[in-house]
Amino acid sequence: MRKLLLQAWLAALLALAFGVAHAAIWDTVPDEQLKALNLSRSASPKELYDALTTRYKANVTKGKFAKWWEPVPIDQYMAPMLFYKPPEVNIDATRAQCVECHRAVTHGWVQSWQQSVHANLEQIRKLPAGDSRAYKKEIIAEVEQNLRAQGLLGAGAPLKEVGCIDCHMGVGKAGGHHMRDLHLPSRADCGTCHIKQFAEAESERDTQVWPQKQWDPGHPSHAVDYTANVETATWAALQQREVATSCTMCHYNQTRCDGCHTRHDFSPAEARKPEACATCHNGVDHNEYEQYLLSKHGVRFQAQRDKWDWNARLADAYTKGGQSAPTCQSCHMEYKGQYTHNVTRKVRWGFLPTPNIADNLEHPWFKERKEAWQATCQACHGQRFAQIYLDMTDSGIKEGVKLVEQTRKVVQKLYDDKLLPGQKTNRPALPEPEKDEPGAFASLFFAKGNQFTVVDRTFAEMWEQHIARYMKGLEHANPGGWTYSHGWSDLIKDQTIINEYDTTLREKAQLEERVGKLEAASRRTSWFNRGGGGGGVLAGGIDAFLTEEPMLATGILAVLGGGLLLGGLRGRRRGPHDDVARPRA
């Protein structure tokens, strides 16, 4: 109790010293997050930031597979809080010197920063109310309040600029040593000024909690994407770390903010465009960007984009920005009328559709999110159309899940019966911590001997890639994407290949079994082959009958008759008159 009173007294003292008005936490910060952080809605921004930062730093780690992988040099840029080492530049630098030096050595950085809001706060403050960028004045005021709450800006003092040192050495510092003090900013560093946005983005781990534990809490989302990466056994097992790095180059949103807000201008206008999502949300297992572009939504975006004002606030895109079709951001950053940095508030199927999702869509958690999606669609569509389309999407995805699960049983049975090529002789163990399983994700990355087979690879593509593309086509209203060019047709192709292999491999196994029995029977007749009597042949014929192989039995009995005849002739003793010629009959 005394500790809580002391904390409250210190917070009040800071408020008096720096002129901070106490205010409730923003309503875009979900209740679920405040509960997880053990905070009330009346907490101060500083209390929220401190709680967020403590949890954030504890969760950015090498993960549970840490002992199996080591970072390569590029990893310091993917997870700077863990691995970054400043260049060996032994100088003390001032704010002005940063710009002067880097104008010569990395002029692109300086150019980007010079055109950013960070470098032009006064210009923003002078914008007329009718300018679509004028809302940024509110953000500057919010940032100043956050900094005053943390004792980083004096009472009444304006924030003049955000320069290199503010982000790379510490907010408000006059300078620092290039080797000792330099760091690359993490989410928490950006959050020093942008507490609300930091909290919204981090709230994905608190709101994405699946009712039947279909996924781990927070998964899949940007808030845990680095953890999801390093705690994937296949990624940790890869010996070719340069290959593994390509995964990390998308799975770093947990560690940094510049995946969406490209450094060093951090443009909101750029981050509002679908292209900002394209680097990561494309390809064989999550081709949202392609599916969106080929939908009517995306076609209209491409046709009309030049008429839209991208500087308008996202919440004002339709009313003031002239936007007339949805974008990734206007759909995924909206939840019940509010636009925030939590982009998973409406996620229902996750990254991949599975039976434990398909079978539980009537649970209130899923239904509430579907209703939120319907409200989003109703910004442009009628209530009935929105409901019908979402219902169709669910039904279509369920059919895709059935295909995958039917095929999974075939693959698993082949594996259990040890019928996959080389499974008994040439399926080398995988590097730790990966473990062998049929059709595993690892089959996309390992192929030593028959470590994995065409069956494994085909099924991995089916459950990890093709079902995802099929689902994304439905969700993003691209008809070819869920039927012919990417979706159902590819799932059927996968099933066809695996069914054919199942037939072929089982027929081969049956043939090998029959040949083995024939060879065993042949070995039992070897005495006859060496010129012996018919006893061994008779035994072989009886064995053949017992094996229920009628063709084999028939053949052996045919041989049996001839063998007995020849055996009888060879076994007859020569009589005294055998050499005497006999008259013809």
10-37 pLDDT, tens digit per residue, is 444 444 444 444 468 999 999 999 999 9
pLDDT at 283: 93
- Where would I find the beta strands (DSSP E) of 148-231? 175-177
- Residue 221: which of 108, 340, 104 has the closest Cα? 340
Q: Is the pLDDT of residue 96 over 60?
A: yes
Question: Could you report the per-residue pLDDT of 308-333, keeping only the tens digit for each?
Answer: 999 999 999 999 999 999 999 999 99
177 three-state secondary structure:
strand
Q: What is d(CA 537, CA 136) in angstroms, rounded to the nearest whole number?
A: 97
- Residue 270: which of 285, 257, 260, 256 has the closest Cα? 260
Question: Could you report the per-residue pLDDT of 356-414, keeping only the tens digit for each?
Answer: 999 999 999 999 999 999 999 999 999 999 999 999 999 999 999 999 999 999 999 99
For 381, the token pair is: 């569509």
Q: What is d(CA 434, CA 239) in angstroms, rounded to the nearest whole number?
A: 12
Compute CA distances 136 → 32, 122, 268, whole Å.
28, 11, 10
- Count of other CB atoms within 10 angstroms of residue 161: 14
- Residue 401: which of 299, 531, 488, 499 has the closest Cα? 488
In the chain, % of residues over pLDDT 90: 84
- Residue 527: which of 504, 496, 559 has the closest Cα? 559
* Three-state secondary structure string covering 289-311: HHHHHCCHHHHHHHHHHHHCCCC
Mean pLDDT taken over the chain: 89
Give alpha helix (H) positions in 417-487: 454-461, 467-475, 479-482
Question: Could you report the per-residue pLDDT of 125-173, keeping only the tens digit for each?
Answer: 999 999 999 999 999 999 999 999 999 999 999 999 999 999 999 999 9
pLDDT at 560: 44
- Residue 390: which of 369, 375, 370 has the closest Cα? 370
Q: Considering the entire predicted model, what is its pTM?
A: 0.86
Which domains are delineated in the chain? 346-521 (1.20.850.10), 525-568 (no CATH)
475 three-state secondary structure:
helix
- Residue 86: which of 154, 182, 227 has the closest Cα? 182
**What burial class does residue 409 get, using C-beta atoms within 10 Å of its C-beta: 0-12 exposed, 13-18 middle, 19+ buried?**
exposed
pLDDT tier for residue 525 given thresholds of 50, 70 and 90: confident
- Where would I find the beta strands (DSSP E) of 156-213? 175-177
Contact 517, 547 (CB under 8 A): yes
Contact 460, 440 (CB under 8 A): yes
pLDDT tier for residue 510 given thresholds of 50, 70 and 90: very high
Q: What is d(CA 462, CA 460) in angstroms, rounded to the nearest whole number?
A: 5
Q: What is d(CA 311, CA 376) in angstroms, rounded to the nearest whole number?
A: 22
pLDDT at 527: 52
93 phi/psi in degrees, rounded to 5:
-120, 140
